[in-house]
């Protein structure tokens, strides 16, 4: 088997699942999440529609767990090339007055978003470098950011610290690995995503939540850019979002 694969970390019912479905049209997808319940649905859906997908239970913030997941990927797809890797975990979100924030709240945000991204990048990048020769599109590593990636709002000290750190990592990797032919990108998802969990969030206007499928289309667009014309960063928000 010499097919190409895409690895997506942080697959729940929203953006991660949409990205998996989108990339599954071209590649075998491997989806990672702490809780298999989060990816079982999308893995089955992809298979049902003729695609290839597997899920691996993994916690990005734990290097042993992420290393075990990548060991399994390398064993299971020994002749495959990694066309794309997407870091999309939502862990570490917490909104609290600073003096109520615990040491663990803060550490968790850093562990999920920053150390987790480090762990994921450490194992992804050697595979992406290896895949350059046979790639139709430059091998791509995309990190999912948020409003908190560029603005440290009141009550968001922990999450913003994690997301700022993640953006720093993404910038540094883009500057180091871009010239080597790996496309590293960072997105800023600025708004509420339209998923089951946010059904109850009501807005004055229709279409006020981000579409996970439209986010996935933009990730795919980033992936298809040639090395002459790499985007590092794209901000995505609903038309009525204040910014």
- Residues near 35 by beta carbon (within 8 Å), at least 6 away in sequence: 57
User: Whose Cβ is closer to its own copies: residue 10's or residue 238's?
Assistant: 238
Nearer to its own copies, 34 or 183 (CB): 183
Q: What is the DSSP string of 64-85?
A: HHHHHHHHHHHHHSTT-EEEEE
Could you give the CA distance from residue 226 to residue 230 in angstroms, rounded to a whole number?
A: 7
Tell me how far, at minimum, the Cβ of 47 lies from its own copies, in Å.
27
Query: Is residue 88 within 8 Å of 16, Cβ to Cβ?
Result: yes
Q: 31 with 11: CB under 8 angstroms?
A: yes
Distance between CA 74 and CA 72 in Å, rounded?
Answer: 5
Asked if 114 touches its own copies (CB under 8 A), the answer is: yes
Mark residues 171-210: x for contact with its own copies by CB under 8 A, - for none: xxxxxxxxx-x-x----------x----------x-xxxx
Pair 190, 146: CB distance under 8 Å = yes
| Binds its own copies by CB under 8 A, chosen from 42, 148, 219, 223 | 148
> Binding string to its own copies for residues 1 to 40, with x set by CB under 8 A, is what?
----------------------------------------
Beta carbon nearer to its own copies, 36 or 152: 152
Compute the distance between CA of residue 163 and CA of residue 93 in angstroms, rounded to an integer: 10
The reply to whether 115 sits near its own copies by the rule CB under 8 A is yes
Nearer to its own copies, 48 or 154 (CB): 154
Q: Please, which of residues 152-171 interact with its own copies by CB under 8 A?
A: 152-157, 160-171
Give me the least distance between CB of 163 and its own copies, in Å please.
Answer: 7
Per CB under 8 A, does 57 bind its own copies?
A: no
Cα 2 versus chain centre, distance: 24
Binding residue for its own copies (CB under 8 A) from 119, 124, 144, 147?
119
What is the dihedral angle through the alpha carbons of 235, 106, 32, 230, rounded to the nearest 10 degrees?
30
| Binding piece for its own copies, criterion CB under 8 A, among 27-35, 42-50, 78-86, 226-234 | 226-234
Q: Which of residues 36, 71, 134, 217 is near its own copies by CB under 8 A? A: 217
Pairing of strands 28-33, 53-57: parallel
């Amino acid at each position: 088997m010499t097919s190409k694969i895409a690895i997506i970390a942080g697959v729940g019912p929203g953006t991660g699942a949409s990205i998996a479905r989108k990339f599954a049209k071209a590649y075998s997808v491997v989806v990672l999440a702490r809780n298999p319940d989060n990816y079982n649905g999308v893995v089955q859906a992809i298979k049902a529609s003729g695609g290839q997908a597997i899920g691996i239970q993994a916690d990005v913030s734990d290097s042993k767990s992420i290393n075990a997941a990548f060991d399994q990927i390398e064993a299971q797809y020994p002749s495959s090339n990694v066309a794309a890797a997407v870091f999309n975990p939502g862990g570490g979100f917490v909104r609290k007055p600073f003096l109520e924030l615990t040491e663990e709240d803060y550490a968790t945000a850093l562990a999920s978003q920053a150390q987790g991204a480090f762990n994921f990048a450490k194992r992804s990048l050697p595979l992406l470098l290896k895949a350059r020769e046979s790639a139709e599109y430059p091998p791509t590593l995309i990190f999912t950011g948020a409003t908190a990636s560029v603005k440290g709002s009141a009550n968001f000290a922990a999450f913003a610290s994690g997301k700022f750190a993640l953006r720093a990592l993404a910038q540094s990797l883009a500057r180091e690995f871009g010239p080597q032919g790996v496309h590293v990108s960072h997105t800023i998802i600025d708004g509420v995503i339209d998923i089951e969990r946010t059904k109850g969030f009501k807005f004055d206007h229709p279409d006020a939540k981000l579409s996970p499928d439209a986010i996935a289309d933009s990730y795919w667009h980033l992936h298809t850019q040639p090395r002459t014309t790499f985007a590092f960063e794209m901000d995505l928000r609903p038309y009525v979002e204040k910014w």
